[in-house]
Amino acid sequence: MGGDRKVYTLAEVSQHNHAKDCWLVIEGKVYNVTEFLEDHPGGDEVLLKATGKNASDDFKDVGHSSSARAMMDEFYVGDIDTSTVPTQTNYAPPIQPHFEQDKTSYFVAKLLQFLVPLLILGLAFGVHFYTKSSA
Ligand code: HEM
């Protein structure tokens, strides 16, 4: 709100990280919640811990009400330069390489585990009958 809509870097916002001067970054916007710390139903501690980073997920995880969202306008001081925020909220599922790999070698190993004892058995029988008939 107000006349000067500013774009801040995360480094700038991060300076305001204590009880007497507390700024938050939520969904691309910068909020000065210093005056709100004492009144926040979730307490000042969580807000102070959410400074210096993208607090969008923290904010969303709580499931804030629409009236909580409406209150935010009051504290809005500007926007964040998103290029200065290291981790975006886009969630990338972890890659599990050992499950995605080619399964051929695993299959061959299983096949051998099954065939080798059979081969040995067959060989033993073969030798047994061969030696018997030739004796
Ligand atoms: C400008 C930003 C924020 C505003 C205006 C705000 C406002 C509120 C309001 C009005 C409530 C009461 C419940 C509701 O209406 O949803 C609430 C609860 C809560 N808030 Fe926030 N909040 C803000 C940011 C945050 C952040 C960044 C966090 C987490 C790091 C947080 C954590 C919580 C928690 C844990 C509660 C639950 C309290 C309880 O149910 O006991 N809030 N907030």
Residue 52 has pLDDT above 80, yes or no: yes
Residue 10 confidence (pLDDT): 96
Residues 6+ apart with CB under 8 A from 4: 78
Residue 103 has pLDDT above 50, yes or no: yes
Residue 48: CB within 6 Å of ligand 1? no
Task: Pick the closest to residue 31 from 21, 41, 39, 45 (CA basis).
Answer: 21
Token digits for 99? 């499950």
Place of tokens 């070698």: 105
Sheet holding 21-26, edge to edge: 6-8, 76-80, 29-32, 21-26, 17-18
Residue 75: CB within 6 Å of ligand 1? yes
Alpha-carbon distance values, 82 to 11, 26, 51, 53, 97 (Å): 11, 11, 15, 11, 31
Nearest CA to ligand 1 atom 21: 42
Asked if 50 contacts 31 with a C-beta cutoff of 8 angstroms, the reply is no
- What spacing in Å lies between the alpha carbon of 123 and ligand 1's midpoint? 75
* Confidence band, pLDDT 50/70/90 cuts, at residue 47: very high
The interface predicted TM-score (ipTM) is: 0.95
Distance CA 63, CA 55 (A): 13
Ligand 1 pocket test target in 53, 62, 77 with most atoms within 8 Å of CB? 62
Least confident of 50-59, 87-96, 98-107, 122-131: 87-96
CATH class of 6-84: alpha beta
